[in-house]
Each structure stands twice: as structure tokens, then as C-alpha cells.
Amino acid sequence: MAHSSKRFRQSLLVVVIVVVVVVVVVVVGVVVVVVVVVVVVVVMVVVKVVVVVEVVVVVVVVVVVVVVVVVVVVVVVIVVVVVVVVVAVVVKVVVVVVVVVAAVVIVVVEIPV
């Protein structure tokens, strides 16, 4: 039972770490977008909106890049978590199968004797 409790705590720790990483990535992405937009607005006000089109294009490109990076990082984190969970489940199933096969072999070998 203690082993199961330890495994549960490890799984919980992995989930907490993943959630924290995702939240940090999203917050950093939002902060970057807000900072870029604020800087662009200040520059536009200072420059009296002379190069509006170029600035808008730059803002759109920066926002798109930030969003893509955030999405890629979140997807990578989710894939890693799924792989870890799948590996843990597969290992558990293999252990159960080995134990069942060993038990059957022991019973089959013991009966004739």
C-alpha cells in the first residue's frame, strides 16, 4: 500500500508541475503580447502614426509568433504528460500480466506434484 501511495504522490507531483509550466507559459505569452502592444501604441503616439501600416504588420507578426510559440509549448507539455501516463499504465499492465502468468505457472507446476 505504501508503494501505491508513493506512486500516487509522484503522479500528483507530475500533474502539478505540468499545470504550473502551462500556466507560466501562458502568462509569459500574455505579458509579452501586452508589452508589445503597449510599446507599439506608445511608438505610434510618439511618431504621430506616420508608419501605421508597418507597425500594424509588425504587431500582427509578433502576436502570431507569440501565440504559435505558446501553443507549441503547451502541446509539447501535453504530449510529454500523455507519454508519461501511457508508459506508466503500460508498465503497470506488464507487471500485472507477469504476476498473473507467474501465478498460473506456479499453480500448473504445483498441481501434478
* Statement: residue 33 has pLDDT above 80: no
pLDDT of 1 higher than 50? no
Cell triple for 29: 505569452
Q: Across all residues in the chain, what is the average pLDDT?
A: 77
Half-sphere exposure of 44 (CA within 13 A, CB side): 16
Model pLDDT for residues 76-113, shown as the tens digit of each residue? 877 887 788 888 888 888 888 899 888 888 888 776 65
3-state SS assignment for residue 47: helix
Domain residue spans in the chain?
A: 2-83
Helices (H) and strands (E) in the chain, counts: 2, 0
pLDDT tens sequence across 36-67: 777 777 777 777 666 666 767 777 777 778 77
pTM over 0.75: no
Predicted pLDDT at 112: 60
3-state secondary structure 26-44: HHHHHHHHHHHHHHHHHHH
Q: Write phi, then psi, for 49 (nearest 5 degrees).
A: 55, 45
pLDDT number for residue 2: 53
**Residue 85: all three cell numbers together:** 501516463
Please give the pLDDT value at position 49. Answer: 62
